[in-house]
Structure 1
Amino acid sequence: MKTKNLIQLPDGYLSSTPIFQFILLSMLFPLWAVAASLNDILITQFKHVFELSDFASALVQSAFYGGYFLVAIPASLVIKKTNYKFAIITGLLFYIAGCSLFYPASHMATYTMFLFAIFSIAIGLGFLETAANTYSSMIGPRKHSILRLNISQTFYPLGSISGILLGKYLVFQEGASLESQMSKMSPAQAHAFGLKMLEHTLEPYKYIIFVLVAVLILFVLTKFPSCKPVVDSTKSSNKSPGIGQTLKYLGGNKQFRKGIAAQFLYVGMQVAVWSFTIRLALDLNPHINERTASNFMVFSFIAFFVGKFIANFLMARFSPSKVLFSYSIIGTLLLAYVAFVPSMTAVYAAIGVSMLFGPCWATIYAETLEVVKEKQYTEMAGAILVMSIVGGAVVPAVQGYASDLFGSMQMAFLVSMACFMYVGFYFYGEMKKNKAVQKPAEESLKIAQ
C-alpha cells in the first residue's frame, strides 16, 4: 500500500503513522473501558438487589471476560480472512446489539438476563480488542510499536472515568445505601424497590449506543491501511499457516507462554481490585452510600490515567521492564496494606495501586507480540493475548470466593497481591533477558571501536 509518504513494509508495519487513522483507532480504547468500568457499578448494584454472595456477584466479570475468551480466536480468523477495519466494524455492531439488550434485561429483572447482555457486549469488545491492540502496535514504524500502543492505552482511563460517572449519576441513587434501605423493608417492599433500582441500569447504555453509532459511521467512511504481512510468493509454503500449525509454533515459544501467564494474572488482578474497591469502601465505612463510594473509583481511574503518563515518561528514560518491575514491588506492598490495615486508608492504598496498573497491559502485550518473530502468526498471537483477558473472569471470582471464605473483603485482596508478585517476577525475568542481550552488543561495540 502506498499513499504519498506512507509505505507499507513487507512485515506489515508502516513507514510512518497516519495520524487521523491512529487517533480514530485510539478512540476505541475508551469505548471498551466504559463498559468494563460499568461492570464495577453493576456488581455493587446486583449484590444487594439479587442478594448475591461476593462470588456470585463476581460472575458479572466472568460473563464479561468469558465473552472475550470465546471470541478472540474467531475474531483473529476474521482479521486473517478480511482486515482489521472489518473486524472493528463487526465489533462495534455486536457492542451496539449488546447495549440494546439492556432494554429487555432491565424490565425482565433476572440476573441471568443481565449476564447474557453483558456477555453479548463482551463479544463485540473481543472483536475490538483483538483488532485494535494489534493494529495500534502495527500502524506505523516497528521501532515505535510499544510506544503507539501505550499512547492508545492512555485514552483508556478517560472511558473508565466516564463509565463510573455514568453509573454514579444514572444507576446509583441518592439516600442511604441499598443494603441499609432494603434491610428496613418487608420482602415484598424490598422486591418492588429492587425492580425499580434495576430499571436505572439501562440509562448509561442508552447514551453509549449513540456514541457507538457515530464511531461506526466514522470507521465505515475512513480508509485504513491493511498492516498485514506480505506473503512471499517465491516460497513453497506461500499459504497462510493453519490454526494447528500456529498453535504449535506459539505453544513452543517459551517467552510467549510467559507473557500469556503474566497478562492473564495482570488483567485478573486489575479487574479484581476495581471490582471490589466500592465494596471495600462500603465495608470500611457503612455510613456512606453507593453513590459516594463510587467516588473512590473515579479517583482510581484518575490515578490510573496519571500513572500512564508517569510510566511513559519513565520508560522513555529507562527500560520498560525495569520500570514495571519497580511498579510491581510497590504494588505488592500496597495490596498487602489493603489486606491488613482495617481503616479507610486501605481504600486509598487501593487507589494508589491503580496508578501502577497503567503501563502493564500495553507493555506485556507489545513485548509478547514482539517475541513472535514469524509475522504470519501475528493475528493469532494477538488473539491469544486477548484471550488471556479471561483472567478477568477467573481472578475476581477467586477473590470473591476468598471474601466469602474468610468473611473479610480486605483479606481477599491477598489474591490480587499474589498476582502482582507474579507480574513482578515476569518483569524481573524480562529485565535479566534484556541485560543478557545488551551485554554482547556492548562488547561487540567496544571491539569495533
Structure 2
Amino acid sequence: MKNKSLTQMPDGYLKKTPIFQFILLSILFPLWGAAASLNDILIAQFKSVFALSDFATALVQSAFYGGYFLIAIPASLVIKKTSYKIAVITGLIFYIIGCSLFFPASHMATYMMFLCAIFAIAIGLGFLETSANTYSSMLGPREYATLRLNISQTFTPIGSVVGILLGKYLIFQEGESLDKQLAKMSPEQAHAFSLEMLQHTLQPYKYIIFILIGVLVIFLITKYPSCKAQKVAQSSNKASTPGILETLKYLVGNARFRKGIIAQFLYVGMQVSVWSFTIRLALVLNDDINERSASNFMIYSFIAFFIGKLIANFLMTRFSPKKVLFIYSIIGTCLLAYIVVASNMMAVYAAIAVSMIFGPCWATIYGETLEVVEEKKYTEMAGAILVMAIVGGAVVPAVQGIVSDLLGSIQHAFLVPMICFIYVGYYFYNEMKREQKIKNTIEEKLINVGVK
C-alpha cells in the first residue's frame, strides 16, 4: 500500500510530511478525546443515579482503559499483518459499534450494560491510539517525530472540550444537583426520575456516530504510505517478522523502555484520576452548584490542557523536552499537594492548573520511549505496549476511589495522583541527566579532536 509520490526512508520514516494525510490522522485525536471526557460526565451522573461509591464510579474508567489494555497487542498484530490505515478503519468501526450500544444500555438501565458499551468504545479507541500515535510520529522526518506527535496530540483537548459540552447540555439538566433532587423523592419517584436521566446519556453518542461515519468514509478513500521499516525486511525474511516472544524479550531487556512504560502508566493514571474527580470535588466544596455548573470546571481544565500543550510545544523547540517536562512535573506535584490541603474552591482551580501541566506529558513520554527502540522491526509492538500503559487510567482512579472511600474525603484522595507525578518528575530528571551526559561526552570528544 505504498504511495509512490512520497519518499519513504529505509527505517519507515518519510522524507517529507504529507500535510493532508497528517491533518486527517490528527482529526482522530479529538475523537478519542471526546469519548474520554464524556466518561467524566458519566461518572458524576452514574454516582447519583445508581447510588455508587467513589470506587464503583471509577469502574467507568476501569472499563474504558481496560479495553485499551486488552486490545493494544491485537491491534499491533493487525498493523504488522496489514497496515496502519487498516487498524484505523477497524478502530472507527468498533467506536461506532460501542456508541450504538448506548441505545440498548439506556433502556436496560443497568450499570453493567453501560460499562459494556464503554468497553466496546475502548476497543475501537485502542485500535485508533495504537495506530495513530505511532503513525503520526512516522509521517515525516525522524528528527521531528516527537514534535509531530505533540502537534497531533494538541488536537485532543479540542475533542475533550466538545465532549464535556455535549455532556453538559445533553446529559446534565437544569435545577438542583441530582443528589438533592433524589433526596426529595419517594422511592417510586426516584426510580422513574433515574430512568429519565439515563435516557439523556445516549444523546451525545448520536452525534458522535454521524461524525465517525464521515471520518471513516474519508479514510477509506485516502491513500496513505505504509511507514514500515524496509531495511530489515530486505536482509532476511525471518528478521522482517519477529515473533511476539522475541519482541517482548527485546523490549523487556531495554531498561529505558521499561522506565518509560512505568512513567506512562502513572502519568495516564494521574491524569484520568484528576479529571474523573474534578466535578465531584467541585460539588463537594460548593453545595450550591449542580452537575451542569460543575462541568464548567472540566471545560476550563481542557482549555488549560490545550494551552499547556501549545506552551510546551513552543518551549520544546527551544529547550530540551526532558528539561521542560521535569520543570512541569515539579509544578504539577506542588499543585496537587495544594489540592489536598486547600480549604475552599481554590482546590478546584488548582486542579484546573494541573491540567495545563499535563499537556505535553503523554506525547513526550510516548515519543521518547518509542525512540529508544533502536531495532525498528519491533516498533509496532513497542507502540502497542506503550498504549497498553494506558491501563494506568483503569488502575489509579480506582485506587483514588478506594482512598476516598476509606478517608471519607475526595480531596485528600488527590494524594494518589500527587505520588504519581513525583515518579514522572523522577523519570524526566533521569532522562535529562542522561541527555546532558551524552552532550558533555560529545563536546569533550570535539575538544580533544580540536586539540589534536
Q: TM-score, normalised on structure 1?
A: 0.99
- Residue number in structure 2 paired with 1:371: 372
Aligned to 1:174: 174
Give the whole-Å Cα distance in 2 for the aligned partners of 1:112 and 1:51. 14
Deviation at 1:197, TM superposition (A): 0.3
Q: Give the CA deviation at 1:3.
A: 3.4
Is the aligned partner of 1:224 residue 2:224? yes
Cα offsets for 1:275-326 (capped at 9, x unmatched): 0000000000011000000000000000000000110111111101100000
Matches of 2:247 and 2:317 in 1, distance apart?
33
Please tell me whether the aligned partners of residues 76 and 130 of structure 2 are also in contact (alpha carbons under 8 angstroms). yes
Mean Cα displacement is larger for which, 234-243 or 224-233?
Answer: 234-243
Q: Aligned residue for 1:327?
A: 328
Which runs of 5 or more residues in structure 1 are unaligned? none
Q: Tell me the secondary structure at the aligned position of residue 225 of structure 1.
A: coil
Q: Deviations over 1:42-78 (max 9, x none)?
A: 0000001000000000000000000000000000000
Inter-partner Cα distance in structure 2 for 1:334 and 1:440: 36
Of 277-286 and 235-244, more deviation after overlay is shown by: 235-244
Q: Aligned partner of 1:355: which letter?
A: M
For 2:252 and 2:449, how far apart are their aligned partners in 1? 38
In 2: Cα distance, 1:85 partner to 1:196 partner: 40
SS at the partner of 2:95?
helix
Q: Which amino acid aligns with 1:391?
A: G
Cα displacement (A) at 1:343: 0.3
Corresponding residue number in structure 2 for 1:123: 123
Q: Which runs of 4+ in 1 moved over 4 A?
A: none
Give 1:25's aligned residue. 25
How far apart in 1 are the matches of 2:386 and 2:189?
Answer: 47
Residue 200 (str. 1) matches residue 197 (str. 2)? no
How far has the Cα of 1:216 moved from its partner? Answer: 0.2
2:87 is equivalent to residue 87 of structure 1 = yes
CA distance, structure 1, for counterparts of residue 426 and residue 208 of structure 2: 39
SS in 2 for 1:224: coil
TM-score by length of 2: 0.98
Q: Distance in 2 between matches of 1:107 and 1:2?
A: 47
Residue number in structure 1 paired with 2:140: 140
Q: Contact (CA 8 Å) 1:79, 1:131: kept in 2 or not?
A: yes
Rounded to whole Å, the distance in 2 between the matches of 1:107 and 1:167 is 18
Aligned-residue offset at 1:234: 3.5
Output the amino acid matched with 2:384.
Answer: A
Q: Check the 8 A contact 2:279/2:294 in 1, yes or no.
A: yes
Partner of 1:34: 34
Contact 2:309/2:359, CA 8 A, preserved across alignment: yes
Deviation at 1:237, TM superposition (A): 3.8
Unaligned runs of 5+ in 2: none
Opposite residue 171 of structure 1, the aligned amino acid is I
Query: In 2, Cα distance between the equivalents of 1:339 and 1:363?
Result: 27
Residue 255 of structure 1 corresponds to 256
The code of the aligned residue for 1:406 comes to L
Distance in 2, Cα, partners of 1:227 & 1:239: 14
Letter of the 1:7 partner, please give it: T
Asked if structure 1 preserves the Cα contact closer than 8 Å seen for 2:3 and 2:223, the reply is no
How far the C-alpha of 1:236 sits from its partner, in A, is: 7.1
Alpha-carbon separation, structure 1, partners of 2:305 and 2:430: 25
Please give the residue correspondences for 1:333-348 in structure 2 after superposition, counting only pairs within 5 Å: 333-348=334-349
**SS of residue paired to 2:234:** coil
Instruction: Kindly report which structure 2 residues correspond to 1:42-441, keeping only aligned pairs within 5 A, or say none.
Output: 42-230=42-230, 231-235=232-236, 237-441=238-442
What secondary structure does 2:318 align onto?
Answer: coil
Distance in structure 1 (CA, Å) of the matches to 2:370 and 2:401: 32
Structure 2 CA distance for partners of 1:314 and 1:121, relative to 1, 3 Å: same
Cα deviation, residue 239, structure 1: 4.1
| Kept in 1: contact 2:337–2:415 (CA 8 A) | yes
The AA in structure 2 aligned to 1:220 is: L
- In 2, the alpha carbon distance for the partners of 1:236 and 1:83 equals 18
CA shift, 1:436, in A, is 1.1
What is the alpha-carbon distance in structure 2 between the residues aligned to residue 204 and residue 25 of structure 1? 23
Relative distance call for 1:10 and 1:263 in structure 2 (3 A) is same
Between 23-32 and 235-244, the greater mean CA deviation after superposition: 235-244
Q: Residue 217 of structure 2 aligns to which amino acid in structure 1? A: I
Structure 1 residue 2, shift from structure 2 partner:
5.9
The residue type equivalent to 1:388 in the other structure is: A
Deviation at 1:188, TM superposition (A): 1.1
8 Å CA contact 1:2–1:8 kept in 2: the answer is no
| Whole-Å separation in 2 of the counterparts to 1:121 and 1:448 | 58
- Number of residue pairs the alignment of both structures matches: 448
Q: CA RMSD in A?
A: 0.9
Percent sequence identity is 73
CA distance in 1, matches of 2:47, 2:343: 22
Q: Secondary structure at the match of 2:308?
A: helix
Contact 2:130 2:384 in 1 (8 A): yes
CA distance in 2, matches of 1:88, 1:66: 19
Distance change >3 Å, CA 83–CA 179, structure 1 → 2: same
Query: Counterparts of 1:240 and 1:37 in 2: how far apart (Å)?
Result: 37
* Structure-2 separation of matches of 1:225 and 1:196: 48
